[in-house]
Structure 1
Amino acid sequence: MATTPVDDIAMIVGTGGTTGLPKGVQLSTRNLETMTAITLMSYPFAPRPVYLALAPLTHAAGVLSFPVLTMGGEIVIMASPDIGHFLHLIERHRVTHTMLTPTLLYMVLDHPDLDTVDTSSLQCFWYGSAPMSAAKLERALHRFGPVLAQYFGQTEAPMVATTMTPGDHYRPDGSIAVERLTSAGRAAPLVTLAIMDTDGRRRPPGDPGEIVLRSSLVTPGYPRNPEATAAGSPYGWHHTGDIGYLDEDGFLFIVDRAKDMIITGGFNVYSAEVEQAVMEHPAVQDCAVFGVPDSRWGEQVTAVVQISPGHTIEVDALHAFVRERVGGVKTPKEFLVWDDLPRSKVGKVLKREIRATVIGSAG
C-alpha cells in the first residue's frame, strides 16, 4: 500500500500579513505530524473531545482540529464570530476544547451572557496568535478556572513552538502565578529554542534577543521564494522575527516583534510592554502601541485604544495610569480613542494598518 512521504508538502498556508505583505508557507506532512504530536503531549485530552472552532479554519482554529480528530473527537464549526452564540454552543455541545485570539477572549469576558452559561465542560481553552493582557488573563483564570492554555508559534512553525499548559498558570500552592502571565510558556517537546543576538551568538537567561528554534515543526520554506527561505534561517536556526528572553526556569517572555520596536529620544521602547500597561486599565478593551515619525524624538510613542462596553475614560487619566507603570519615556505621548480596531480574519489587531491611518491623518 502506498504511503505519503513525510517530507511531501501537505499544504501552503498564508501568513497573517500583520507586519508586512503575506507570504505562502509550505507545510509538510512531517510538520503537521510534529504539531499534532506536540499538542497531544502537552495539553489535556480526555477521550472523544469536542472542539469548538470560532476562528477561520484556514488558520489556528483549523490546525488545532487535527489532534482532536486523532482522538476521534467532534468538531463544531461556527459560521460567523458571534460571541454570545459561542458561549451557548459550549453549553449545548459540552465543548471540551476551544481556541480564541486575545481580542475575542476580551469580548467573551465582557459579554453579558458569560455568567449565565455553563462552561464547566471545558478542559482546555487555548489563547494565542497575539500578545495577551496579563490583567485580562487573570480575570479569565478566575472565571474559567485551570483550563486556560497558551502556545506560541507562527505559520512557519505551526502553533506550538512553546507551550503554556493549564498547570503552568499556577504555583504549587494553587495560587495564580501572576509573574508568569506574560510568558508564552516553555519550549515544546520536539523543539529546541534559543535567544540569539544579531551575530548568531546565543544569549543567557534574562538577556533579550531574537527567538530562534530548531525542530521538525519548521517549514521547508516559501514556495518560489528562495531568497526569503534563506533569509529565514541564518546560522542554522529558524529566525522568528520576535524579540524575547528566557528566564532561569526556561519560560519564554516575548518582548516585541523586531519590526515593532520604537526608538524614541535614543531609547528602545518595546510596544508590547506598553500595551500590557495600557491593558491593565479596566476601561480598555484593546489597544495598539506604535511609533510615528517625530522631528524631536525620532519616533513618538502613540497608542490607539478601544474602550470596553459601558465604560468611559479621560485621556489624561489614562496617561497618568500608564506613566505610573512604565515611566515617562515609554508612556505614549498621544492616546487616540477609536470605536473599534481593524483586525485580521483571525482576530489579530492590524497595527501596521492603524499606524498608516494615524500617520496619514497627521500628514
Structure 2
Amino acid sequence: MPIHKELLRHATERPDKPAVVIDGLSLSYGELYRRASAIYRCIQTLPRSNHRSFDLPGVEKLVALSLGNHIGFAEYFVAATALPNACAVIDPMMPPDRIGRIIERLAPDVLVVDDDASPSAEIGRRLGIPVVVAGADPFDLTETKGELPDDAEGIFLIGFTSGTTAEPKAYYRSRQQWRRSLDRGRAVFEIEDAPSTMCPGALAHGLALYAMVEALDAGGTFHSVRKWDAAAVARILSREEIERLVAVPTHIAGISRAWAGEPALTSLRDVLTAGAKLDVNGVESMRRLFPGARIQEYYGASEIGFMTVSTLVGGKTDFPIDRVGQVYPGVEISIRDPDENDVGTDVPGTIFVRSDLIADGYLWGDDGQAFRVTKAGATVGDLGELDENGMLRVIGRAGGMMISGGNNVYPAEVESALKSCPGVEDAVVFGLADAYYGQRIVAVVSGEATDAKMLADHCAGQLARFKIPRQFYHIASWPMTSSGKISRRQVEAAVISGDGLVLRLSA
C-alpha cells in the first residue's frame, strides 16, 4: 500500500489513537503497524504458488483477501500491500461459483478469510491454497524487529469490477497512482487535519477501500460496520460525533429514513458521495440531516480513478445539481464522437480522460466494450457533455441508451426528472422490447408517489414527449448490490417476471 511511511509516522507519534473502529472493535495505530509487520514477516515465509497463469512484474507474494468488513481487514491489507507483495480484494458476498473462478485464476500464495466455514475458505482448501482465518493470528506478535518496507513503485492492488458480462474483470493498480491521488485528495477534500471518517460500504469495493486508505494516510480514525444497518450507522454518526461521511446516495437515504425524528447530525462537516448522481430531493434531505456539512460528490471509475469533483452545498460557489463538477487536479476531460474527434462544448459524446491516475490494465476480462486506452485518452464508455465552464454532465452508462420510436433516450436523464418529483425517493428507468416503439420506456420508483398520471405529468414538464415512460411501477424496497447500489438487473427482472417485488401503477 502506498502509505507505509505515513503509517509508521502515525504509529510512532500517536500509537494509541484509534486507526480503525468496526462495530465497537478498535485497532490503534500502534497495534495496526505492529500486527501488520508480524503478518508481513509471516507472508514472506510462505512458498510461492506455481499455478499462476499470469505474470505480475515485481510481485513476490500475492495475497487474496475475502474478509468482508472485518476488524482485521486493515492489518492484513497493510501487510499484503507492502513491497514486494500485492493484494487481491475479493467480495465474499459474491456467488460461490464466481469466487471459485476468481481464486482459481489468481492462484494466490495465501487466502485470508473471516470464517473457516465460509465458501471462500472451502474453495481455497479445495484448490490447495493456504487459508488463514483473520483473528486466529497465525503469526508471532512477540517478534517486534523490523519495519514494513517503505513505499516504492510497482503493482500493489488487484480489484474486480463488473463488465458487459456477469464475470468480474480483474484490473491492477500501482502504488504511484494511489500515492498521487492521495496527495491531491488531501487538499481537494481538506482532510489534512485527519477528521474521523465513516464509510459503511463494503471494503471489497473501491469507494470504501479508498476511504479507509485515505483516512489512514491522513492519520484519522476510520469507522465502518460489519453489515449495512442504516439505524446502526446513524447511531454511530451521532454517538462518535463523526466529522466526515463517505457513502453512496442509497446509503445516505437509508440513514435519513432511519434517523427521522431525531436531532440533526451536527458534527458532520463533510459528506462525500459517489456511485450515483445526487438529485434535488436527496440534497435537500442531506441539508436537513447534516445542516453543518459541506456536500460534495465525485465522478470516477475503478479503472480510471477520480475524474471530477463538485461541491453542491457549502462551497465558495455551489455547483449546478445536474452536473458532476469540474475536473479533478491532474485530469483532462474531452467529449468525443465515434471516430474519437473532439466535439467541443454542449454536444454529447463519449467521455475521454487523460490522467496519471489510470489503472495499468486488466489481468483478465478486457472485453473492449468498456475501459480502453487510445490516442484520445482513456474511457469506460460513459456518455456526457461539457459546458463552456468546463462542467461535466453525465448522460448515461455505455450501452444504456434506449431507442424508442426511433429516438435516443438515456435512462439517467429520465431518472433525474423523476427524482425531482415530490414523493419520489429513487427511480430506475430501462427499456423493454416493444413491437411498435422498438423499446418502451419503463420506470420503477420508490417513495410516496403512486399515481402514474402524476409522474407522467411531472416528466412532461421536464422532458420531451418521447422520453416520458410508458409504464410506471412502484417498489417498496430496492434490491441492492453488495456495494450499496440498486441492483438494476433484479429490478428489470422483477418487472418482466411480475414476481411481486414491483407493483404496476395506474393513472
- Name the TM-score class by shorter chain: 0.7 to 0.9
**1:199 alignment counterpart:** 339
1:183 to 310, 320, 323: 323
**1:36 alignment counterpart:** 182
2:481 to 325, 335, 344: 344
Larger RCO of the pair (alpha carbons < 8 Å, separation 6+): 1
Please report how far the alpha carbon of residue 81 of structure 1 lies from its aligned counterpart in structure 2 after TM superposition: 1.5
**1:164 alignment counterpart:** 310
* 8 Å contact from structure 1 (residues 242, 258) kept in 2: yes
Please report how far the alpha carbon of residue 46 of structure 1 lies from its aligned counterpart in structure 2 after TM superposition: 5.1
RMSD: 2.5
1: CA distance, partners of 2:288 / 2:451: 28
**1:75 alignment counterpart:** 222
1:303 aligns to 2:446 (yes or no): no
1: CA distance, partners of 2:352 / 2:374: 10
2:428 to 265, 268, 288: 288
The 5 Å alignment of 1:33-72 reads 33-45=179-191, 47-59=193-205, 60-72=207-219
1: CA distance, partners of 2:341 / 2:432: 31
2: CA distance, partners of 1:166 / 1:235: 33
2: CA distance, partners of 1:3 / 1:45: 23
**1:321 alignment counterpart:** 458
**Identical aligned residues as a percent:** 25
* 8 Å contact from structure 1 (residues 168, 185) kept in 2: no
1:120 aligns to 2:266 (yes or no): yes
1: CA distance, partners of 2:271 / 2:198: 10
The change in CA–CA distance for 1:106 and 1:295 in structure 2 (over 3 A counts) is same
2: CA distance, partners of 1:234 / 1:114: 49
**1:334 alignment counterpart:** 471
Give 2:301's aligned amino acid. Q
2:295 to 141, 148, 159: 148
Please report how far the alpha carbon of residue 318 of structure 1 lies from its aligned counterpart in structure 2 after TM superposition: 1.8
* Unaligned ranges ≥5, structure 2: 1-146, 500-507
* 8 Å contact from structure 2 (residues 295, 314) kept in 1: no
Please report how far the alpha carbon of residue 34 of structure 1 lies from its aligned counterpart in structure 2 after TM superposition: 2.4
1:197-253 Cα shifts (integer Å, max 9, x gaps)? 111111211111111111121111110456649961133411121111111111111
Find the residue that maps to 1:63 and give its secondary structure: helix
Give 2:281's aligned amino acid. A
Find the residue that maps to 1:67 and give its secondary structure: helix
1: CA distance, partners of 2:365 / 2:488: 26
1: CA distance, partners of 2:405 / 2:367: 35
Please report how far the alpha carbon of residue 271 of structure 1 lies from its aligned counterpart in structure 2 after TM superposition: 0.7
**1:237 alignment counterpart:** 377
* 8 Å contact from structure 2 (residues 168, 365) kept in 1: no
**2:402 alignment counterpart:** 262
1: CA distance, partners of 2:192 / 2:235: 22
Please report how far the alpha carbon of residue 91 of structure 1 lies from its aligned counterpart in structure 2 after TM superposition: 1.9
2: CA distance, partners of 1:162 / 1:56: 23
1:272-305 Cα shifts (integer Å, max 9, x gaps)? 1100111112322222101111110111111112
Find the residue that maps to 1:286 and give its secondary structure: strand
* 8 Å contact from structure 1 (residues 151, 185) kept in 2: yes
Please report how far the alpha carbon of residue 45 of structure 1 lies from its aligned counterpart in structure 2 after TM superposition: 1.7
**1:108 alignment counterpart:** 255
Please report how far the alpha carbon of residue 33 of structure 1 lies from its aligned counterpart in structure 2 after TM superposition: 1.3
Find the residue that maps to 1:332 and give its secondary structure: coil
Please report how far the alpha carbon of residue 335 of structure 1 lies from its aligned counterpart in structure 2 after TM superposition: 0.6
Give 1:315's aligned amino acid. A
1:87 aligns to 2:234 (yes or no): yes
2: CA distance, partners of 1:12 / 1:131: 26
With normalisation by structure 1, the TM-score equals 0.88
* 8 Å contact from structure 1 (residues 243, 255) kept in 2: yes
1: CA distance, partners of 2:203 / 2:477: 24
1: CA distance, partners of 2:165 / 2:395: 16
Please report how far the alpha carbon of residue 48 of structure 1 lies from its aligned counterpart in structure 2 after TM superposition: 3.0
**2:492 alignment counterpart:** 355
2: CA distance, partners of 1:241 / 1:79: 33
With normalisation by structure 2, the TM-score equals 0.64
The change in CA–CA distance for 1:312 and 1:266 in structure 2 (over 3 A counts) is closer
